[in-house]
Amino acid sequence: MSNKATVHLAASKEICIRFSEVDSMGFVWHGSYALYFEDARETFGAMYGISYLDIFNNGYYAPLVDLAFSFKQPLSYGKKAIVTASFRNTPAAKILFDYEIKKVDDGTLIATGSSVQVFLDHEYRLVWTLPPFFAEWKRKHNLL
């Protein structure tokens, strides 16, 4: 059995760069990266049972409060990439993800990033302790 220090939960999604996602130079517009990270988070949620609806149905919201990008190489129209979201465990009542975007054809690193989500109850109050459903989810995945 793995211990929490060695548990690595991640999910990947392949994307094909659409014309609507590029700028006048033919490169992915910087704002599109937020959508790619979102796609990877949704894939992660579906894979590990922690989707936005799972969070909502347990009485919480999980808004983004921080989103960071680091661009390494441009990505252009028609190219395929793989976006990976890796869960970063923390004892805080937050959901942390690290991201990588790589070209499918040669594995070139295109961008990295991170995000922070906090929990709000359905009255929009900040939740300072682990919601019970999230603590149970962490136990299930050997993260507590």
In 3D, which of 118, 124, 100 has the Cα closest to residue 33?
100
pLDDT tens digits for 61-114?
999 999 999 999 999 999 999 999 999 999 999 999 999 999 999 999 999 999
Domains and CATH numbers, the chain: 10-132 (3.10.129.10)
Model confidence, pTM: 0.92
Question: How far is residue 94's CA from residue 118's CA, in Å, rounded to a whole number?
Answer: 5
Structure tokens at 91: 């004892």
Question: How far is residue 41's CA from residue 39's CA, in Å, rounded to a whole number?
Answer: 5
pLDDT tens digits for 9-38?
999 999 999 999 999 999 999 999 999 999
pLDDT recorded at residue 5: 53
**Cβ distance 141 to 1 under 8 Å?**
no
